[in-house]
C-alpha cells in the first residue's frame, strides 16, 4: 500500500472515530478515486473542488430564502437588531478573511498541508465543519503579513 492511501485511511479512521460524516465521506470518495485509478479527476478537483464546495454551501445557506422560510421582513429586521448587525459585520470579516486565505493558499502551497491537517483535526476532534482552511489561511495571512 502506498503512503498516500495510508494517510487517507488514517484520515478516514479519524472521521469514523469522531463520528464526523463529512470527513469520512470525503476521504472515502478520494480513496475510491485512487482505487479505481481515476487519477485524471484529481487535477479537476484541485482546480474547481473548492469553488463547487462553496457553491453547494452557499445553496444550503440560502435555501431558507428560496423556500420562503425567510421573508423580506425578516431580512429587513436584521438591520434593526444589534445581534444581527454584529452577525453582518462578522460575516463580512469572515468573507474578507476567506479571500485573503484563498490568495495565501495559492501563493504558498507549503502552507496548505498544515492548514488541511489542522482543519481535519479540528473537524475530527472538536466536531467542527471543514470550512476552516480558507478562514485559517486568512487569519494566518494577517499574522504573517501576506495578502
DSSP string, 59-94: HHHHHHHHHTSS-HHHHHHTTTSHHHHHHHHHHHHH
Is it the case that residue 30 has pLDDT exceeding 90? yes
- Mean pLDDT score, 11-27: 83
- Over residues 37-62, the pLDDT tens digits come to 999 999 999 888 878 888 998 899 89
- Over residues 91-124, the pLDDT tens digits come to 899 888 888 887 888 777 778 778 877 877 887 7
Whole-number Å distance between alpha carbons of 62 and 12: 30
Are 4 and 35 a contacting pair, CB within 8 Å? no
From 11-15, 36-40, 108-112, 130-134, the region with the lowest mean pLDDT: 130-134
Whole-number Å distance between alpha carbons of 96 and 19: 31
Are 112 and 71 a contacting pair, CB within 8 Å? no
Are 135 and 99 a contacting pair, CB within 8 Å? no
The residue behind cell 463547487 is: 52
Which cell numbers in the block locate residue 124? Answer: 475530527
Q: Does the global pTM surpass 0.85?
A: no
Quick one: pLDDT at residue 146?
65
- Over residues 69-82, the pLDDT tens digits come to 998 888 888 888 88
Amino acid at each position: 500500500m502506498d503512503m498516500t492511501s495510508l494517510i487517507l485511511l488514517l484520515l478516514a479512521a479519524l472521521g469514523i472515530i469522531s463520528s464526523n460524516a463529512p470527513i469520512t465521506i470525503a476521504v472515502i470518495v478520494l480513496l475510491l478515486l485512487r482505487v479505481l485509478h481515476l487519477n485524471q479527476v484529481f487535477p479537476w478537483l484541485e482546480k474547481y473542488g473548492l469553488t463547487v464546495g462553496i457553491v453547494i454551501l452557499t445553496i444550503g445557506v440560502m435555501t431558507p430564502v428560496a423556500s420562503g422560510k425567510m421573508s423580506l421582513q425578516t431580512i429587513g429586521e436584521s438591520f434593526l437588531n444589534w445581534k444581527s448587525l454584529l452577525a453582518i459585520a462578522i460575516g463580512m470579516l469572515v468573507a474578507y478573511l476567506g479571500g485573503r486565505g484563498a490568495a495565501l493558499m495559492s501563493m504558498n502551497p507549503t502552507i496548505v498541508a498544515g492548514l488541511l491537517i489542522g482543519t481535519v483535526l479540528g473537524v475530527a476532534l472538536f466536531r467542527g465543519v471543514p470550512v476552516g482552511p480558507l478562514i485559517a489561511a486568512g487569519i494566518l495571512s494577517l499574522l504573517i503579513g501576506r495578502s
